[in-house]
Chain A
């Protein structure tokens, strides 16, 4: 079946502009995660959605970052007033449900470059 998809695959934007990154999880997956991966670095957790529960926003680096998940499916990560340090690959992952036996399924990522 279809995996996790993300769009756009690449985004170049000017400093100060807003950007929206989209994630389409695997159908039926209740949990959705956003991560950021800077060049040569590990994964930095940003935000986590589980069903209808309030999202865990503890990883968002500043109030310029926000995310929503509509209808328990598609998610959009918004970065306002982008800065050069926001340049990174943004990864989305979904999971069938929360529970220790379930792995995450990752999308290919969106490479964001802020000039």
Chain B
């Protein structure tokens, strides 16, 4: 069965510095991968998704992620953090051969310091 590990439960950066949120997955087959963001007291919003096309995926708000099969990783990055990026981020894996095929990571809380 597929699974997702978000390597950091909490990441803190200063405004204007790069963001790196790490995600490793396991999947028996070619997966799709997603990043969602959840701002305080808000629902989850899709940031970006990888579905076997280009391995470098660009999403909303300047975020991007690179699918690396050899490393089974799908890390989320942003060149320059903004205060509004402070939120909880979830990495999700989906593969074809499970009935309930969405697996969520435990989440990474991003704090942005002024």
Which residues in A have some Cβ–Cβ distance to B below 8 Å?
33, 35, 41-43, 45, 48, 50, 56, 58, 91, 93, 98-101, 103-109
B74 within 8 A of A: no
Known A42-B90, A42-B107; contact A104-B102, beta-carbon cutoff 8 A: yes
Q: Is A101's CB under 8 angstroms from B100's CB?
A: no
Chain B residues with CB below 8 A from A106, complex form: 36, 43-45
- The complex places the Cα of A108 from the Cα of B30 at a distance, in Å, of 31
Distance in angstroms from A104 CB to nearest chain B CB is 6
How many interface residues does chain B have, given as a range? 20 to 34
Contact residues of A: prevailing secondary structure: loop
Whether A56 pairs with B105 at a CB distance below 8 angstroms is no
* A43 proximity list for chain B (CB < 8 A): 90, 104, 107
**B43 near A98 (CB under 8 angstroms)?**
no
- Set of chain B residues within 8 Å of A93, measured between Cβ atoms: 44
